[in-house]
Structure 1
Amino acid sequence: MSDWTWDYNTDDHAHVTGGLPPGVIAEVERIATELSVLGRDAEAVGRPTGRSGGLREFDILGGRGFINFLVVPRHECVYVCGITWYE
């Protein structure tokens, strides 16, 4: 079990989640929890493929949107930086 956590990349969570349906927010938080369980291995999840680290992108809800996240090993944290949702 990983000691890693996840958080939004801003103190103002509404800046990232504002206006999104509750189901979308719940799915993003579920994925963020799973990424934090992966720990450092989360650096290779999503796009861009073929390299690890940096800002990552991961599809949500069957391609109806995606999240941008950053894995910071020094903080042992996955930060959700942005959510794009196609209504």
Structure 2
Amino acid sequence: MNDWTWEWNPGYDHVAGGLPPGVVAEVERLAAELAALGRDAVKVGRPEDKEGGLREFDILGGRGFFSFLAVPRHQAIYICSITWYE
């Protein structure tokens, strides 16, 4: 078990406001899983050839993706944007 958390950056309304509830729930579920990975979250998603920086992760079978930052010094995952193809 680790002490990593996740949160919306800059905030829920900016990142997820207006999206379907199922999309938001899936991003929240994946964010919790990324936080459970802790430091290893810097390797998840795209780009695949390097660690760190802004990462992207597909959701719901490629119907969208979200961008996140894994910040080891804060022990946090920051969900920065969600792109949803309706």
User: How would you bin the TM-score normalised by the shorter chain?
Assistant: over 0.9
Moved over 3 A (4+): none
Question: Counterpart in 1 of 2:16?
Answer: 17
Alpha-carbon distance in 1 for matches of 2:32, 2:41: 11
Aligned length: 86
Alpha-carbon distance in 2 for matches of 1:8, 1:15: 9
Q: Which runs of 5+ in 1 are unaligned?
A: none
Deviation at 1:19, TM superposition (A): 1.2
Normalised TM-score (structure 2)? 0.97
Deviation at 1:50, TM superposition (A): 1.4
Alpha-carbon distance in 2 for matches of 1:39, 1:79: 12
Normalised TM-score (structure 1)? 0.96
When the two chains are superposed, the root-mean-square deviation of aligned CA atoms in Å is: 0.6
